[in-house]
Amino acid sequence: MQESLDITPEAVNQAAEAMIAAKPAYRDLIAFYGRIFAAQEDARQRIRLEPVVIPEDLLAIRRREQLPLLPVSEMAYDPAAAGVLLGKICRIAVDSGTGLSNSARILSLKSAGMDPLFRDFLNEDESGMTRAAAGIGVDPQALAFFLYHSLRPALRCCARQLSGFLTGAPVWEQGYCPICGSPPGLSWLEGDGQRSLFCSFCWHKWPLRRALCPFCGNRDQERLLFLYSDEEPEYRVDACASCRKYIKTVDARVLARRSYPPLEQIASLHLDIKAAEQGFSAGIPVSPPF
């Protein structure tokens, strides 16, 4: 089944309902993230970004050296839209009654002055973020969660604009995102078995050969392993015996329900547990703060 990241909020809800029917053990997790992703798809339609300009000479160097187009710190976002979305996501988290509810309640009272925090987050300024979290009285990990999810639709819009710079570029054979340089969060098989990776940060999707570890570049087929179970033919774990990292893979060719890749990535924690039991570690942080 063909996936798309750019779908309507209603379609996100339908994907969430189909997932809950197939995986009832994840009901609460899927319902929570489904509401957040639907709010993001709704927000995406109103985001206005100034196009990012990359000078020709810099672009030529980055293409030649297989460097990502832009550091995360320079990605564009819409502060007003991010602020509005933050309020909505806080309300969803308060309603959820999860471990995030308390931080959400505190953050939702802080209606102004969030823009420097969005900037600190993109600058990966950990000490600034820790200070800010302490000042507000919220957990730093929860703060990062709310900031990221409020920025995510803009990051995707920005990545889409930037992807225009990749047209005609040499084939990208790296395991990190050609747009922002972040590691992949999910692997996707479709069509005639072509593999693509989704960036864990900007969700840009890029094709990458199957026999290649995206984390260490290992191409030795003998050292690339697959963990799977017959009960879930749509999922597998691609693990690397060289760097001991893994990435979760969705085989969209056998997925019979509507899907939304970020939901598949979250509601498959049993695969993370299985990989950890075999001694592999995730290429990106596993547990969503929930």
Contact status: 196 vs Zn ion (CB under 5 A): no
Give 26 or 188: the residue with its C-beta nearer to Zn ion: 188
Contact status: 215 vs Zn ion (CB under 5 A): yes
Give 114 or 179: the residue with its C-beta nearer to Zn ion: 179
Binding mask 152-191 for Zn ion (x = CB under 5 A): -------------------------x-xx-x---------
CA atoms 212, 217, 219, 223: torsion sign: negative
Contact status: 225 vs Zn ion (CB under 5 A): no
Tell me the C-alpha to C-alpha distance, in Å, between residue 29 and each of 19, 25, 108, 131: 11, 9, 21, 29
Contact status: 243 vs Zn ion (CB under 5 A): yes
Contact status: 218 vs Zn ion (CB under 5 A): yes
d(C-alpha 1, C-alpha 261), whole Å: 12
Residue 262, C-beta contacts closer than 8 angstroms, at least 6 positions apart: 5, 33, 37, 186, 203
Contact status: 255 vs Zn ion (CB under 5 A): no
Query: Pick from 202, 239, 271, 282: which binds Zn ion (CB under 5 A)?
Result: 202
Give 88 or 152: the residue with its C-beta nearer to Zn ion: 152
Smallest distance, Zn ion to C-beta of residue 25, A: 30
d(C-alpha 177, C-alpha 162), whole Å: 12
d(C-alpha 169, C-alpha 166), whole Å: 5
Long-range Cβ contact pairs of 6-10 (< 8 A, separation 24 or more): 6/41, 6/44, 7/41, 7/260, 8/41, 9/38, 9/39, 9/41, 9/42, 10/38
Contact status: 265 vs Zn ion (CB under 5 A): no
Look at residue 53 and give its three-state secondary structure.
Answer: coil
Query: Residues 106 to 145: which contact Zn ion by CB under 5 A?
Result: none
Contact status: 213 vs Zn ion (CB under 5 A): yes
Contact status: 249 vs Zn ion (CB under 5 A): no
Binding site for Zn ion (CB under 5 A): 177, 179-180, 182, 199, 201-202, 204, 213, 215-216, 218, 240, 242-243
